[in-house]
Amino acid sequence: MSGHSITSQDLSIGQIFQNFYLVPDYQREYVWGEADAKGERGEEVEQFLKDIHGEFEQATKDGAPEYFIGTIVVCPGADGVFDLIDGQQRSTTSFLTLCALRDLIAELDGKVPATLSGQIAAQDTNWQGDTIERMRLDLQYEDASGVLMEYGEGKGKAARRDGTRSIRNLANAYDTIREFLSVQFPSDANGLRRFHGYFTNKVKLIRIETPNVSRALKIFETINDRGVGLDAMDLLKNLLFMNARAVEFNKLKEVWKGVTQTIYEAGEKPLRFLRYYLLATYDVDAKLQEEDIYDWLTRNEGQTGHGRNPIGFAEHLREGAAAFQNFSRGRNANGGIDYGIANTRSLGGSAVKQHFILLLAGRHLGPELFERLTRRVEELMFVWLIAGVPGKDYERIIVQAARRLRHVSNEAAFSAFESEFLTSQKALHRQAFINAFLTLHTYDLRKFRLRYLLAKITRHFDGLAYGEAGREGLSHYLETKNDIEHILAQGADQDAMAEFGEGADQFELVQRLGNLMLVESSVNRVIKNRPYSEKAIVYPTSQFLLARCQATVLAIGANDKITRAIQKLKPASSWDRQAIEERQKWMAEAAVEVWGVAAHAATSPT
């Protein structure tokens, strides 16, 4: 190959593994076969094998169809070894498939084809005349920790399985391949040899060879920018390496690993993080979708500076990832306790994270202002969710707010921002929020959100009566030792239904918000499905003010704060349809106070 030319070859797996390959240490780790939160392996490896096996089954004695699995990009490395720049996932999976075929055949009858052994490892003599046994594929990045060699050496099931992400993924992939082959060729060594023949002769790749790594990276970018292969996160990594000097590779590799590992530990999808980070940090249209991220980056180097200073950009990204990880754990950017973030996590669940855009944009604020931000964000997110504002609509507002928030540096500027974006949005949706409360049933909300709602109202009145010390968060109220009590019980006994009167047997009425209250499980066990008159005697044993005063105003103390808090409550001496209606109206009024939904505010951005 001439010094500047790029060549491509249509090669079989067998021809590919007549050469030696090295995956450079700056490449991303092996991710096929990665297990999800439930421990179930990823489907990429099994699908890879299913597709190939499907073609294999079409073979006849006269011939077999070829199957194309993609492209790899290489450039010459040291000692005649190719540096593998693109195609690591399919190449590593192919190598593991060869290892599994050899291991299964060896276990069944020991007649492993010499060609198969030679496709996994072979002797290689360098220019100094030294001959060594070398694996056809070597993963140089630290995360692999030399474990691929263990599969190449035949350790298979005894290879290391714990440690880094790649070690676990390689083990998952190897196990998946063994299981697949064992199911398709049960105790059938000849069948495995036939499949090996098909796999190495009829499964094809296009190998693109470039004269140097910079050309290889450019080819990588071109292929993937046209929708073949990797996603925007991988392309961004490639873009940074293209703009970095060779002497910066090790530093950039270290920083990038910090980015990806942090996102992985946060249990987040890398592209969602990257999109939120860009929306929080730069002037980006809220319509930006994940598939458009890479194109946006290539057109906005003036904003990001990733071309001039790729390591600096990556370091900022790593810092953003660390903050994101803390947010996902209910903490502030520095890992400290933050009740607003923790509460928003309780109300939103794992799927609602658009507010992280605002948190990322505001993480430069001092502790007091940032805590104020998270409290207001919690309130606003709940208002939006209860009022039924579509996610795409409130995300647009969040992005607008983030642009403004990035430039807020003092209390006066924050107060103006708070009024313009946060308070005004709550006011804008005030009536929809109240209307939703007036008609709310248990089945209108997911249970974790219903628990948040009741915990928040219960905590609010405890705070008014006894002070905030020890009650800043909701964890005490959200504990499993507390129950959602149906005042008119589900499955109320005959006495309870008779005492309640008309509608006691109506499911809709029992599930009304006005019929619900948070109490300790110990209290709930005592009152069970009994009549309200009997429950009213037990409610005062609760530690929650709202439950203690459900049936009557109690003389708890002479403290003015307690008295004022009790005066806001609405005790009911008896329980019937009207009492549920009145309590639901009262809860709607209380919600306006609890979540700070003002009647009037400055004009909100639209």
Say whether pLDDT at 593 is over 50: yes
For residues 72-93, average pLDDT: 88
Q: What is the mean pLDDT of the chain?
A: 89
How much is the pLDDT for 229? 45
For residues 63-81, average pLDDT: 88
Give the tens place of pLDDT for each residue, 364-423: 999 999 999 999 999 999 999 999 999 899 999 999 999 999 999 999 999 999 999 999
- CA-based R_g, the chain, Å: 31
Contact 527, 538 (CB under 8 A): yes
How much is the pTM?
0.69
318 Cβ contact list (under 8 Å, min separation 6): 255, 258, 259, 262
Say whether pLDDT at 603 is over 60: no
Least confident stretch, 284-288, 356-360, 378-382, 464-468: 464-468
Contact 102, 189 (CB under 8 A): no
Cα torsion at 290, 294, 298, 304 (round to 10°)? 60
Least confident stretch, 222-231, 288-297, 596-605: 222-231
DSSP structure class, residue 78: G
CA separation for the pair 515, 576 (Å, rounded): 10
**Strand order across the beta sheet in which 137-139 lies:** 7-12, 203-209, 67-76, 82-86, 21-23, 137-139
How much is the pLDDT for 605? 56
Say whether pLDDT at 502 is over 70: yes
Say whether pLDDT at 216 is over 70: no
User: Could you write out the DSSP letters of every residue in 379-401?
Assistant: HHHHHHHHHT--HHHHHHHHHHH
How much is the pLDDT for 602? 47
For residues 313-338, average pLDDT: 95
CA separation for the pair 257, 260 (Å, rounded): 5
CA 473, distance to chain mean position in Å, is 24
Q: In the chain, what are the domain boundaries? A: 7-230, 242-429, 439-594
**Integer CA distances (angstroms), 2 to 5, 7, 83, 211, 219, in order:** 5, 10, 17, 8, 17
